[in-house]
Amino acid sequence: MLKLEAVTLSQGSFTLRADIGFENRGVTALMGASGSGKSTLLSAVAGFLRPSAGRITIAGQDVTDLPPGARPLSILFQDQNLFPHLTLAQNTGLGLRPDLRLTDDQRRTRDEMLERVGLAGMGDRLPRDLSGGQQSRAALARALVRGRPWLLLDEAFSALGPALRNEMLDLLRDTAMDQGLSVLMVTHDPADARRIADSTAIVTDGEVTAPLPTQALFDAPTAALRRYLGD
Ligand SMILES: Nc1ncnc2c1ncn2[C@@H]1O[C@H](COP(=O)(O)OP(=O)(O)OP(=O)(O)O)[C@@H](O)[C@H]1O
């Protein structure tokens, strides 16, 4: 379980309060209007923003004071940040060792992950020689190869066209299932949540609602969801 216990987050004059737990199983969507605080919440979980009150725990461990790299999670942003001068294999290997001195086992892990995301045999290519979709797959591989139990995504696929975006969402869901990963995914698009999220939490009015099963939530929308959908 990932818990934000009586957490207060501040960015300038904006304040978000969260007292909430995310189950470590499957995909949870974090949905809300622009400026509602989705990225703020994710930044705090990732360790880039320190809460002004409360604490954050993951699997019972207090991570509030841990730097991002020491937390049991990986992060994928919209800007995929592949290094242009490094090959696909090297970009992915960075997830395992920043100095790229991989052991044989780590090479195997890297190659299996590239295969898992549909990039087998492309390890020698530079990012510029990949399509947008392949670059997204590579960035996902680099995040997954770290083997951390939680994966956080901040609108990671929102720049992609609809077909590619659905393909990446499905790949994310399937890989999460295979690897027993827990995923917390920020999206502003209800279609993303409905496609792959087991549960969905809404960020609105400076607070975060408790996650509810996505299907049930959309079948009988809460006041927070209705406000967000503009019904
Ligand atoms: N560094 C900052 N300094 C001051 N205010 C900030 C800062 N970063 C974010 N904010 C404010 O905090 C609020 C929440 O921003 P946040 O980026 O978390 O929203 P969001 O829900 O992720 O929005 P979007 O969907 O547009 O990305 C906004 O009002 C924003 O203007």
The closest alpha carbon to 4, from 51, 48, 66, belongs to: 51
- The ranges assigned to domains in the chain are 1-71+183-231
∠ CA(130), CA(134), CA(140), 5° rounding? Answer: 130
Share of the chain above pLDDT 70, in %: 100
Does 208 sit in the ligand 1 pocket, CB within 6 Å? no
- pLDDT of 158 above 90: no
Across residues 145-149, what is the average pLDDT?
91
Question: Cα-Cα-Cα-Cα dihedral of 224, 227, 228, 231, to 10°?
Answer: 130
Q: How many beta carbons lie within 10 A of that of residue 44, not counting itself? A: 22
| pLDDT score, position 20 | 96
Pick from 102, 98, 87: which is nearest to 138 by CA?
87
Measured between alpha carbons, how far is 139 from 133 in angstroms, rounded to an integer? 10
Tens digits of per-residue pLDDT, 84-110?
999 999 999 998 988 999 999 999 999
| 200 has a pLDDT exceeding 70 | yes
Give nearest CA residue, ligand 1 atom 30. 35
For 1-71+183-231, the fitting CATH number among 1.20.810.10, 3.30.70.100, 3.40.50.300, 1.10.10.10 is 3.40.50.300
Question: For residue 131, what pLDDT is reported?
Answer: 87
Q: Which of the four pLDDT bands, split at 50, 70 and 90, describes residue 74?
A: very high
- Residue with the smallest CA separation from ligand 1 atom 27 is 34
Give yes or no for residue 40 CB within 6 A of ligand 1.
yes
CA distance linking residue 2 with residue 9, whole number of Å: 16
Which of 38, 77, 158, 209 has the most ligand 1 atoms within 8 A of CB, as the residue to mutate? Answer: 38
